[in-house]
A and B are shown apart, each in its own frame.
Chain A
Amino acid sequence: MAEKDKNFSRRDFLKTSGIATGALIGGGIIGGLIGANTNTKDTGTDAPGTSGGTKESSSSSVRGLTFFKSMAEFEVLSQATERIFPEDDLGPGAIGLSVPYFIDGQLAGSYGENSKEYMQGPFFEGEPTQGYQSRLKRNEMFQQGIQLMQQEAQSRFDTKFVDLNGEQMDEILTAFQDNEIKMRGVESQFFFRLLRQATLEGAYADPIYGGNTNMDGWRMKGFPGHQLAYINDIESEDFVEMDPKSIGMEH
């Protein structure tokens, strides 16, 4: 099964994305890719993996950070999300899909500020079945979590998080996932779940939110986005391929 499916997915992706995947496959490329994406603020939109010479990328204007204040923090976030959703032969990873920019934007808004959550005290530690009981906002959790990733990189490997190899990054992320990292005001496994979920949101949300660049997340997955209707296709015995559409407008 796998061979046939992979072939289909890859063909579909290549056909629609215009990305020269050959140049991007392979573990060593990712580090360089991240650097290219994050160190060149002035040309941030032209990061490899997101370009492909499409109209969207050339017409979009400058890109910057609205929550994070330091590029160093943003680079840690970028690499962590890339480990969660990596570049491969199916298509771009989190960085190529602009997931870090998506997360940065969301942390600056109502998501990061918990504006639709009950944040009144008193706060008590509860049972796991009672859910989120932290007084921290999500953007505070992300900030703290990223600082701790840096600290873990220093204490475990005596270097910066962004300079670790993939396996070393995974070791630290796994420690967060397994609740082995001591965080203040929140458990690390809760933060990790947020990070994982936000990565998937950035990969697959409508590109109007700044992620899912060129709708490549949707292309990989075979989801056509905003189609008006499937009434004429829903009885089809065959799988229906469609070029995805965003709900956004062209400017």
Chain B
Amino acid sequence: MVTTLESVDVVTVGVGWTGGIIAAECAKEGLKVVGLERGRERGTEDFTMVHDEYRYAVRYELMQDLSKETITFRNNRKQRALPMRQLGSFLLGEGLGGAGTHWNGQTWRFLPYDFEIKTMTDKKYGANKLSADYTIQDWGITYDELEPYFDRFEKTAGISGEDKNPFWGKRANGYPTPPMKKTPILQRFEKATTDLGLTPFMLPSANLSEAYENPDGQKINACQYCGFCERFGCEYGAKTSPEITVVPAAKETGNFEVKFNANVVEVMKEGDKVTGVRYYDTVTFEEFIQPANVVVLTSYVMNNAKLLMVSDIGQQYDPTTGQGTLGKNYAYQILPGATGFFEEQMNTFMGAGALGMSVDDFNGDAFDHGDLNFIHGASLSMTQTGSRPILSNPTPPDTPSWGADFKRASIENYTRTLGVGGQGASMPHKENFLALDSTYKDIYGVPLLQLTYNFTDQDRALHSYITEKTSNIVKEMGAKTVAARGSISDYDIVPYQTTHNTGGTIMGADPDTSVVNNFLQHWDAENLFVVGAGNFAHNGGYNPTGTVGALAYRCAEGVIRYSREGGSLA
């Protein structure tokens, strides 16, 4: 028995940053919006006991319940894909605010180079810099076109920062709030990088340096530097998240409703338009159809791609022929870095998720790659996020992993260790892609998404180059022992690395090479929009949320225009 509900103007699948932004913008324009959220309602009041490393950081309280749904994974097409039975390499969110509740708040704009990477690479290095196996392409939008949307997202979120980086794109406006406190630990990085001839600046942060009211009239508080950001919610309402900004802004219009425990399993399609979505109430397992004039997929990378695949919308990418776009250009990131062991104790347990300083001298195309066998690079950062004792047991090389020597070394070094890490950009490769699994299903009987992914030669070369740069910085900072991260071989889904998964529903200027146009409108169904990091044609050297937020504002404009005028916007 399926119950068909009253039709609305816009339905979003998921209510995190992208769903919240679409809802706020459309509802302000008078469109009736329903957000379907598979998880529960939650907010600042739920985080008063959040200073609990075990529950939140180790046992993943705020993350997706994999007993209901996961993905399958293999390194290459010859392997049998098997379920990711426990979270590891990346942490998928669930519940109101999505991953925007438990993010760190590091809020970057991708570089102008990122949006035109193919054109700029060919122009500077010739067409054969990378082999044809690397499927880099321009994004169908330039940085300058996207700049107003970046500005919009930063103002909504109240980002704290300073415009001192010579390598990033031009900003129309300064940051809405000043940078965070430059602590002694960050000053150490600042001095070392300056002495090395690099150009440090405060990392743009959504943990606000001061109280702020955004253009929607929503208030965000000042960060207290308590050291519990990533994997946690903020009990102060000081880490910008959807549920303290765009969700209330949408609700205040009277045009927005969130339905919780609503897990969407299909996008309904008739001819060349979509008609709505089918979902399960996760408590009663009742089935509903929510008709809508416009459907916007605003869930995470994995689920956006999966919904298009199970709904048979678009052409699945085939690595043998290179045909098809859905599932293509899945990319991840690589994490070169070095750890320094110091003589003196430091306040490493204090911090905030986006408290840090960075250099971009080795990111994008800021340095010459003529003699290097890779393109792009990494932002290098010293972050003071707040080390916690269960997951932070740093020991110098050759220390045993348990027993008396381990205990002594891990205790001594807990407050004497600093790390410099790079977020290495990852280039898409023809063998890395998303598809549907033929064996495993979720609890709703829908096939799981299948990830085929491995690091490539480009990734490995970039990793070793950047690792050396980070080692030099740590050494310059005065570490008595420097331990560089080992080289990477095969991608391993077990240890946590980064939740910066991208691709699969990529944007572009041409329907033959992309899933959505530059308003994030689907090429095959004009009233369907798909927005998120899945739109990235490759992965950059930064955290993705700033760019995702900009794309969501761009998408909202598209939905509003489409609702008035109809037709393809590209």
A binds B: yes
Residues of A within 8 A of B (CB): 1-2, 5-6, 8-9, 83-86, 88, 90, 93, 110-111, 114-120, 122, 124, 126-133, 170, 173, 196, 199-201, 203-206, 208-209, 217-218, 220-231, 233-237, 239-240, 247
Q: Complex formed: what's the CA distance from A1 to B478 in Å?
A: 14
Whether B350 contacts A88 by the Cβ 8 Å rule is no
Question: Is B311 part of the binding interface, using a Cβ–Cβ cutoff of 8 Å?
Answer: no
Whether A133 contacts B224 by the Cβ 8 Å rule is no
Question: Is B58 part of the binding interface, using a Cβ–Cβ cutoff of 8 Å?
Answer: yes
Q: List 6 A-B contacts (CB under 8 A).
A: A5-B412, A116-B60, A124-B80, A129-B494, A230-B351, A247-B51
Whether A86 contacts B404 by the Cβ 8 Å rule is yes
Whether B350 contacts A131 by the Cβ 8 Å rule is no
Question: Is B415 part of the binding interface, using a Cβ–Cβ cutoff of 8 Å?
Answer: yes
Whether A233 contacts B491 by the Cβ 8 Å rule is no
Task: Pick the residue among B49, B65, B184, B491 that contacts A235 (CB under 8 A).
Answer: B184
Query: Interface readout for B344-374 with A: 1 if CB under 8 Å, 0 if not?
Result: 1111011100000000000000000000000
Instruction: Quote the shortest CB–CB distance from A225 to chain B (angstroms).
Output: 7
Q: Complex formed: what's the CA distance from A144 to B492 in Å?
A: 27
Whether B85 contacts A235 by the Cβ 8 Å rule is no
Whether B407 contacts A90 by the Cβ 8 Å rule is yes
Q: Complex formed: what's the CA distance from A123 to B196 in Å?
A: 52
Whether A230 contacts B414 by the Cβ 8 Å rule is no
Q: Is the interface of B mostly helix, strand, loop or mixed?
A: loop
Whether A129 contacts B345 by the Cβ 8 Å rule is no
9 tightest CB-CB pairs across the interface, nearest first? A229-B224, A205-B54, A230-B350, A204-B389, A239-B345, A226-B51, A129-B492, A118-B70, A84-B402
Query: Interface readout for B80-92 with A: 1 if CB under 8 Å, 0 if not?
Result: 1011111010000
Whether A205 contacts B60 by the Cβ 8 Å rule is no
Whether B226 contacts A229 by the Cβ 8 Å rule is yes
Q: Complex formed: what's the CA distance from A240 to B351 in Å?
A: 13
The total number of A-B Cβ pairs within 8 Å is 172
Residues of A within 8 A of B411 (CB): 9, 90, 220-221
Q: Complex formed: what's the CA distance from A145 to B550 in Å?
A: 51
Whether B85 contacts A118 by the Cβ 8 Å rule is yes
Query: Interface readout for B437-449 with A: 1 if CB under 8 Å, 0 if not?
Result: 0011100000000
Whether B88 contacts A200 by the Cβ 8 Å rule is no
With contact pairs A122-B439, A129-B75, A133-B85 given, residues A223 and B225 touching in the complex (Cβ less than 8 Å): no
Interface residues on chain B, size class: 35 or more
Beyond A5-B345, A133-B83, A247-B51, 5 additional contacts (C-beta under 8 Å) are A201-B390, A221-B411, A233-B350, A234-B350, A235-B183
Residues of A within 8 A of B393 (CB): 200
Q: Complex formed: what's the CA distance from A132 to B82 in Å?
A: 10
Residues of B within 8 A of A83 (CB): 402-403
Query: Interface readout for B491-503 with A: 1 if CB under 8 Å, 0 if not?
Result: 1111000000000
Query: Interface readout for B479-513 with A: 1 if CB under 8 Å, 0 if not?
Result: 01000000000111110000000000000000000
Whether B389 contacts A118 by the Cβ 8 Å rule is no
With contact pairs A129-B75, A129-B494, A226-B51 given, residues A119 and B67 touching in the complex (Cβ less than 8 Å): yes
In chain A, what residue has the closest Cβ to B494?
A131
Whether A85 contacts B402 by the Cβ 8 Å rule is yes
With contact pairs A86-B407, A234-B347 given, residues A129 and B224 touching in the complex (Cβ less than 8 Å): no
Whether A128 contacts B492 by the Cβ 8 Å rule is yes
Residues of B within 8 A of A200 (CB): 390, 393
Residues of B within 8 A of A111 (CB): 59
Whether B389 contacts A120 by the Cβ 8 Å rule is no
Residues of A within 8 A of B83 (CB): 118, 120, 133
Residues of B within 8 A of A93 (CB): 407
Question: Is B343 part of the binding interface, using a Cβ–Cβ cutoff of 8 Å?
Answer: yes
Query: Interface readout for B223-234 with A: 1 if CB under 8 Å, 0 if not?
Result: 111110000000
In chain B, what residue has the closest Cβ to A192?
B402
Q: Complex formed: what's the CA distance from A155 to B58 in Å?
A: 36
With contact pairs A206-B54, A230-B224 given, residues A129 and B347 touching in the complex (Cβ less than 8 Å): no
Q: Among the interface residues A2, A85, A93, A218, which one has the most CB atoms of the partner chain B within 10 A? A: A85
Instruction: Quote the shortest CB–CB distance from A168 to chain B (angstroms).
Output: 14
